[in-house]
Amino acid sequence: MRLINTPTLALETFNGKAVPKYAIPSHRWNDVEVSFQDLQDGTGRNMTSYSKIQSCCAQAQLDGWQYAWINSCCIDKTSSAELSEAINSMYSWYKASHVCYAYLADVHRGETLSHGLRKSQWFTRGWTLQELLAPRSVVFFDNDWADIGSKLRIDDFVNFETACVAKKMSWAAKRKTTRIENEAYCLLGLFDVNMPPLYGEGRKAFMRLQLEILKKSDDESIFVWHDEFLEELFECIRLPLSGLLASTPVFFFSIREESDR
């Protein structure tokens, strides 16, 4: 596992039990983020998104953490093996962190966390669901890195570890990912599932996820997805019929609506 030394901003590698305590950020990615290669060759220092790394590390230092793990630059994404390991380990890495800094770039100074909950794109992204649920502590920051509050026990997520499969799926139903496959990959940790990412497989990824869940669980709520407006939706996004399993997490949205009544 690579970590950034927060005082020096240099990458260091740790193995097994030697991994020190670390802070971890969660953020909505920009079009261009500082990669592992950018940080290694020094070109990352000239990139706009480098300021996020600096601010995260400065906050970690202020809180007494010498190390931070930042997903954009601590993974060598040119290595398929390393990327696969990272995708399958992401939930556990967030869970093992001592604090998670949720950076809301579209929330401005003076806005409250409750307002940010309603407007920030951070709350609409697929990957940030596990980044909200897994850490022991989440502190939210506005675009100037001013602390605007910490994670409260949102009622919907209180017992997420014991929630049924359909309920967990409903939390992801309206979240978006840039790549279709990530609709499934971003949920691996929530269901304690490991499977190799195969970019290019499209919606087969979500089918594979459900099959892996069925291998581990006898929770039949996985079949309780609703087909309201299904014909119209299939026509709009041209999804294949999938039998007993849903083609996309969006078909579980009504589960959330029903539980909120």
**3-state secondary structure at position 154:** coil
Sequence-ordered strand ranges (E) for the chain: 2-5, 11-13, 23-27, 67-68, 99-103, 138-141, 147-150
Tokens of 186: 């971003």
pLDDT value at position 158?
52
Residue type, 84: S
Other C-beta atoms within 10 Å of 230: how many? 14
Q: What is the mean pLDDT of residues 25-43?
A: 94
Question: Is the pLDDT reported for residue 238 higher than 80?
Answer: no
pLDDT band at 253 (very low <50, low <70, confident <90, very high): confident
**How confident is the model over 186-201, as pLDDT tens digits?**
999 999 999 999 999 9
CA distance 20 to 5: 11
SS (H, E, C) 88-108: HHHHHHHHHCCEEEEECCCCC
**How confident is the model over 114-158, as pLDDT tens digits?**
887 788 999 999 999 999 999 989 999 999 999 998 875 444 455
Q: What is the mean pLDDT of residues 32-39?
A: 96
pLDDT value at position 118?
81
Q: What is the mean pLDDT of residues 154-166?
A: 69
Question: Is the pLDDT reported for residue 69 higher than 90?
Answer: yes
Tokens of 256: 């959330």
**How confident is the model over 220-233, as pLDDT tens digits?**
999 988 865 555 55
Write down the domain spans for the chain.
1-152, 161-261
| Signed CA dihedral, 51, 82, 31, 143: sign only | negative
CA distance 9 to 55: 11
Q: What is the mean pLDDT of residues 17-44?
A: 94
Task: Please list, in sequence order, all residues whose beta carbon lies within 8 angstroms of the beta carbon of residue 184, skipping any fewer than 6 positions away.
Answer: 205, 206, 208, 209
Question: Is the pLDDT reported for residue 211 higher than 50?
Answer: yes
